[in-house]
Amino acid sequence: MKQRIITGVVAAALFLPIVFYGKLPFVLLTYFLATVGLYELLKMKKLSIFSVHGLLTVFFLWVILLPEQYNDLLNTFYYTKTEISIAFILLLLTYTVLTKNRFTFEDVGFSILSAIYVGIGFYFFMETRDAGIVYIFYLLFMIWATDSGAYFIGKAIGKNKLWPEISPNKTVEGSIGGVVSALIVAVLFAVFSEINATFLYLLAITVVLSIFGQIGDLVQSAFKRHFNVKDSGNILPGHGGILDRFDSLLFVLPLLNLFHLW
C-alpha cells in the first residue's frame, strides 16, 4: 500500500503540471504513454517492440495519434493519415513473407488491433484536453468514483458475480454502486464547475460512461487472463502498467467525444 501511495503521488506531481499546461508537452506525454501501452500489449503476446514488426506497429500507432493541428506535416507530402496507415498495414503483411511466416497473419492482426485500440483512446485524450481541462478532470474523478464505489459497495453487499470468468471479484451490486458513485461526481461537476452540459444530460452521459469504463476494465482483465499475466506492466510500482491505469479511459474518452464534444 505504501508503495502504491508513493507511486501515485510522484506520478501526479509529474503528470498534472503537464496536463494543466497542455500544448506540445501534453502531446509528447500522450505519445509516450501510448507507446508504453502498446509495448505492454505486444509483450503479452511475446512480440518484441524492438524489432522490424514492432517498430512498424509503433509508427502506425504514431500516425493514428497525430493530432489534427499537426496534419499539415502529412499534407506536406500529399498524404493523409488513412493512406499512411494503409501503407503500414501492407508493410506488416509483407513482413510475414519476408520472415517465412515466423511473424504470422495472426501476429499482424494482433499488432494492428493493438495499435488501433491504444491509439484511438490516447488520440481522444489529446482531443479532450483541447476541448477543456474540465473534461479531463471530470473523467478522471468519474472513473475514480466508479472504481472506488464498485470496490467498497461490492465488498460490503456484493453477492451476485458480475463476470466471474473474467474478473471473479466483481459483483453486480458493486457495478451498480460504481455507477451511483459516478453520478455523485456528475452532480458536483454540474454544480461547481463550468462544464458545458445541462444537468440531466450530464447525468445521462455519466451513466453511459461509467458503464463503459467498467467494460474497459473488464476488457483489460480479459487480456491479462488470456495471456496469463497479473499486470500489463510494471512501470508504475504498486499500480502495474500504463494499460492497468488507463483501461477505463481508453473506452470513455472516445465516447465522451462522440456523444458530447464533437
Consecutive 10-residue averages of pLDDT for the chain (262 residues) = 65 86 94 96 94 96 90 75 92 95 95 96 95 95 94 89 85 93 96 92 96 94 88 73 91 92 65
Look up the pTM and report it: 0.92
| pLDDT at 150 (0 to 100) | 92
Write b or e for each residue in 103-136: b if 16 or more Cβ atoms lie within 10 A of its Cβ, otherwise e.
beeebbebbbebbebbbbbbbbbbbbbbbeeebb
Write out the residue range of the structural domain in which residue 227 sits.
132-262
Residues 144 and 118 in one domain: no
Among 131, 151, 182, where does a domain finish? Answer: 131
Residues 51 and 40 in one domain: yes
Residues 116 and 161 in one domain: no
Residues 110 and 162 in one domain: no
Residues 124 and 204 in one domain: no
Q: Grid coordinates representing 132?
A: 477543456
**Domain tally for the chain?**
2
163, containing H or E segment: strand 161-163
Residues 200 and 127 in one domain: no
Among 93, 113, 131, where does a domain finish? Answer: 131
| pLDDT at 1 (0 to 100) | 55
Nearest to 189 by CA among 138, 129, 146, 144: 138
Among 100, 131, 162, where does a domain finish? Answer: 131
d(CA 58, CA 35): 7
Nearest to 31 by CA among 123, 117, 110: 123
Residues 109 and 136 in one domain: no
| pLDDT at 109 (0 to 100) | 96
